Amino acid sequence: MRNFKDAKLMAKALRSAMETRGVHLTHSETLEIVATQFGFENWNVFSARIDPLPDPDGISFTGTAPVLRSFDEAKAKEFYIDYLGFTLDWEHRFEPGMPLYFQVSRSGLTLHISEHHGDATPGATVFVTMTGIEDYHRELHAKSYANLRPGIQNQPWGREMTLTDPFQNRLRLDERPR
């Protein structure tokens, strides 16, 4: 199975096979059975973990880089690079003394940090799905960053850790149940 359509076809085939045996199941019931066969709690959790159908016109989006507002280069770099462990990929100023715009990344997550007042509003929230939340939590707590000691909370959709930067932007990290 490769994508959402394959899983739905499996549910349809199951429903048809059961009908020939006199067992009447709804499409929803067969979706739940397919999810269970793959070891997931329910169809919603399973469908979130499989690849979506490709766009029929060939358009695909291959990445996202949220732009987060900052006011202080030193504080931004201390938080994203020193504390969170991101790598500085590049930085740009139109000329000396102008606002800084830079990109950081780590393990598949790319963020743009901007001092330009028109690029973003402070206080944004970026929801990020991830794996290894416990390891990352331990890594962060081993560092001496006085301004944040995040915890992990259990939510119905997974385990969540919120990281708030010095400009009130939040990275809401979420590890889905397996």
Q: Domain residues of the chain, as ranges? A: 4-49, 67-175
The pTM (predicted TM-score) of the whole model is: 0.69
The yes/no answer on whether domain 67-175 falls in CATH 3.40.50.720 is no
The pLDDT score that the predictor gives to residue 4 is: 58
Here the contacts of 91-98 (C-beta below 8 Å, separation 24 or greater) are: none
Give the burial string for 130-164 (b: 16+ CB within 10 Å, else e). Answer: beebeebbeebeeeeeeeeebeeeeeeebbbbbbb
The tens digit of pLDDT for each residue in 40-90 reads 888 877 777 776 666 677 777 778 899 999 999 999 999 999 999 999 999
